[in-house]
Structure 1
Amino acid sequence: MYQIIEHWSDCDRAIYYGDGIFTTMRVTSGKVSLLEYHLTRLDRDAQKLGLPPVNEEIVKAITDRAGQLNNGVLKVTLSCGDGGRGYARPDTLTPVVFFSQGQIPLNYSRWEKEGVSLGVSQIRLAKQPLLAGIKHLNRLEQVLIKQHMPKEFDDVLVLDTDNHIVECSSANVFWYKNETWYTPELTNSGVSGVMRAHIVNFFRASAIPHAEVSVSVKKVLDCEAMFICNALMGLVPVKRLHAEQRQYQKEIKRVCELRAKVLETL
């Protein structure tokens, strides 16, 4: 059973070791977009890390706080709770839930209209299948990616240590080539985003050709279109990809048309 807290304890394992998970929700008119996807991921990630499943009390707290927020960002963090010193968890867990809120980044609306420029990060993601897909609290790789991201780019493609595309700094990525939409498989690293899951389900329900693949940057240079996505930004077209010391222009119209269809299903 989780305890909802208003302040973090100094001994919480979320602070000591990043021992927990989180999800970031977009709230519009008091409702959480993709709520069932968020709850499914929280349950899945909690199970993988040995945390209790999400209960009705947490679901009610989410909907109540979304109603109070009305519009903005609601972040839900699940932690193992207090644990004292040492990596080993105590025999009896006291898991907690912490809520925080904020505003949708202002640049997202501009990105939707104009598209973004992507570079390629020099920081590589480690391969750890046990943590792949989980939105856990250990985000130091993403901190380094942001620190080293050139200012002329809106975001960057991030590769693993085998130089395969995984995601962007805080978003998943799709590209269109040979009449098929592709997205990286996430079996060894990366975050399995809720918008990514919804788009894959949309492709499946609409019989749109799609595939999850493990490829290098060279394989996407000649793609026709590309977009990045997460629960807050939705689908954002990529207008330029900077890679291999060149710029590659991408088609925005195809992504905008796809976005309109996906939004109808939310």
Structure 2
Amino acid sequence: MPLEGAAFSYRHSMVSMTEMSTQYEVGMINQDFVSESTQLDHIQMFGHGVFETMRVFEWDIPLLYYHMRRVNEHSKKIYIQTDSRDLRERIHNFLSSIRQTHSGSGILRLSVMSSGTLGGYRIDKTSEPTYTISYRTLPAEFLNMPSNGIKMRVCDYRLPSNPVLSGMKHLNRLDQILARAEWDDQFDDGIMLDQNELVVETTFGNIFFLSSSGWVTPLINQCGIEGVMRSLLIKKIMPALSESVAIRKVKLYEIKNCSEWFVCNAVRGIMPVSSLFPDLSWTIGEKTKKLRRELSNLYPCYI
């Protein structure tokens, strides 16, 4: 009988006796004591790492190239060295090992974390990273997304500015957690603004809206995540359809006054918006439908 989830953890770590003296000697993960100091990584203490959430379809990851490019680029920015070929091999071996017990349509999460500390906040830039790979069958709610669009609100929480980490999908997701805690099940997602009241993203995706001069997506240069699906739409899907897209600062009133808009991410694809609390509504626009068809033609998992 298929299990609900699976996870492997990979570690390659060499620690000298000098370095060992600066590390904790014992700790607890959940209810289990651990005595190996290298198990108490920066990930558990400081969130030092990045992650990717990938759609799996018939045991293939359609956007693997884009995920690998991003995880390698962002890892290096925070002094974690990765290798694309090695990561691909780990993912391939992991999926091969669970084929007999799981459905081939699901969500795979890859986390790449620092495993080297020299005490306090000082890191060992030469240490090999720690990897975790986990998988779950595609949840029913992903397959049953409302056919008439998703319901949105504007989050009260404001994203802080951090140009160095802007665009990066690092492991510290407190901003999204605090924003998502503002509602229960009344809405599907929420728009996140920055300290200057500019639109940045939603709690789980990027935004595109149709203006009088073409598609627009918010500039991600002070905060927010540059999503894999966002990049795919900008660089491949929209050019294929001769659709222009502007990347610029966006005010909330522009979205409120637009003719159609959607939220996107690498797991769910393009999600048209039907309403914005308290009193705005949209029908799914023809240009959004056109983008969804093109995406589905290239990648059938995004139906």
Among 214, 227, 252, which residue is 2:284 paired with?
252
What does 1:166-245 align with in structure 2 at a 5 Å threshold?
166-201=200-235, 202-242=237-277
Equivalent-residue separation in structure 1 for 2:65 and 2:207 (angstroms): 21
Gaps of 5+ in 1: none
Among 62, 66, 69, which residue is 1:37 paired with?
66
Asked if the contact 1:185–1:214 (Cα under 8 Å) also holds between the matched residues in 2, the reply is yes
Structure 2 partner of 1:20: 49
Q: Provide, for residues 175-205 of structure 1, a one-character-per-residue CA deviation record: whole Å limited to 9, x for no partner.
A: 1121511111100110111111101112134
Equivalent-residue separation in structure 1 for 2:146 and 2:65 (angstroms): 24
Asked if the contact 2:81–2:128 (Cα under 8 Å) also holds between the matched residues in 1, the reply is no
Structure 2 partner of 1:261: 294
Gaps of 5+ in 2: 1-8, 13-28
Equivalent-residue separation in structure 2 for 1:183 and 1:109 (angstroms): 26
Asked if the contact 2:72–2:84 (Cα under 8 Å) also holds between the matched residues in 1, the reply is no
Asked if the contact 2:80–2:125 (Cα under 8 Å) also holds between the matched residues in 1, the reply is no
Asked if the contact 1:31–1:63 (Cα under 8 Å) also holds between the matched residues in 2, the reply is no
Deviates further, 102-111 or 171-180: 102-111
Q: Provide, for residues 217-244 of structure 1, a one-character-per-residue CA deviation record: whole Å limited to 9, x for no partner.
A: 11211111111111111111100122xx
Asked if the contact 2:148–2:283 (Cα under 8 Å) also holds between the matched residues in 1, the reply is no
* Superposed displacement of residue 85, structure 1: 4.2
Deviates further, 3-12 or 119-128: 3-12
- Sequence identity percentage: 27
Equivalent-residue separation in structure 2 for 1:185 and 1:16 (angstroms): 31
Asked if the contact 1:223–1:250 (Cα under 8 Å) also holds between the matched residues in 2, the reply is no
AA at the equivalent of 2:57: T
* Superposed displacement of residue 150, structure 1: 5.3
Q: TM-score, normalised by structure 2?
A: 0.80
Q: 1:136 to 1:82 in 2, by over 3 A?
A: same
Equivalent-residue separation in structure 2 for 1:91 and 1:179 (angstroms): 47
Structure 2 partner of 1:75: 109
Equivalent-residue separation in structure 2 for 1:155 and 1:209 (angstroms): 26
Deviates further, 27-36 or 141-150: 141-150
Secondary structure at 1:211 match in 2: strand
Q: Select the structure of larger CA radius of gyration.
A: 2
Secondary structure at 1:113 match in 2: coil
Structure 2 partner of 1:57: 86
Q: Provide, for residues 113-138 of structure 1, a one-character-per-residue CA deviation record: whole Å limited to 9, x for no partner.
A: 23101100000111101000000001
AA at the equivalent of 1:230: N
Cα-Cα RMSD: 2.1
Secondary structure at 1:239 match in 2: strand
Equivalent-residue separation in structure 2 for 1:231 and 1:91 (angstroms): 30
Q: 1:219 to 1:257 in 2, by over 3 A?
A: same
What does 1:139-158 align with in structure 2 at a 5 Å threshold?
139-149=173-183, 151-158=185-192
* Superposed displacement of residue 84, structure 1: 6.1
Equivalent-residue separation in structure 2 for 1:13 and 1:229 (angstroms): 31
Give the number of equivalent residue pairs.
Answer: 261
Q: Provide, for residues 50-101 of structure 1, a one-character-per-residue CA deviation record: whole Å limited to 9, x for no partner.
A: 2113232221111233343522111000011142641111354231111111
Structure 1 partner of 2:164: 130
* Superposed displacement of residue 110, structure 1: 2.6
Among 114, 127, 138, which residue is 2:148 paired with?
114
Deviates further, 3-12 or 87-96: 3-12
